[in-house]
Amino acid sequence: MRLKYLVCSALGVFPIYSGAVAECTETVTQVFNHSNGNVYFATDQTCAASWCQLSGNADFVKRGYAMLTTAQLAGKKITFKWPNIAACTQNALYSSPEYMWTAN
């Protein structure tokens, strides 16, 4: 097993991620479904001053829209994995989470 790890590491099979990543548990404050196919939303932390968005894969956008609206209506929080920030601070305009899940 150790030899397999060394060989894979030498070949670069295991990527080394050096970018900033934050997982933030947030309250959804607004959800906006746009005719361009994207979903825009605001939260109490990373998306408080500018819109964030769900875009790309259509299934991700549809499921994400359902998750955002359900959490907002139920008063539940969602945890987002933000690939472009190191702490739960303001994102850039139209930032998109890598993934998200419901929190308690």
pTM for this structure?
0.78
Q: Quote the CA–CA distance of 55 and 83 in Å, as a whole number.
A: 14
User: Over the Cα atoms of the chain, what is R_g?
Assistant: 17
The strand order across the sheet containing 99-103 reads 52-54, 39-43, 22-33, 77-82, 99-103
The sign of the torsion formed by the CA atoms of 44, 25, 102, 60 equals positive
**pLDDT tens string for the chain (104 positions)?**
444 444 344 444 434 444 678 999 999 999 999 999 999 999 999 999 999 999 999 999 999 999 999 999 999 999 999 998 888 988 999 999 999 999 76
Q: Looking at the DSSP assignment, which residues form a beta bridge with residue 23?
A: 81
The domain segmentation of the chain, as residue ranges, is 18-103
Q: Does domain 18-103 have CATH number 2.130.10.30?
A: no
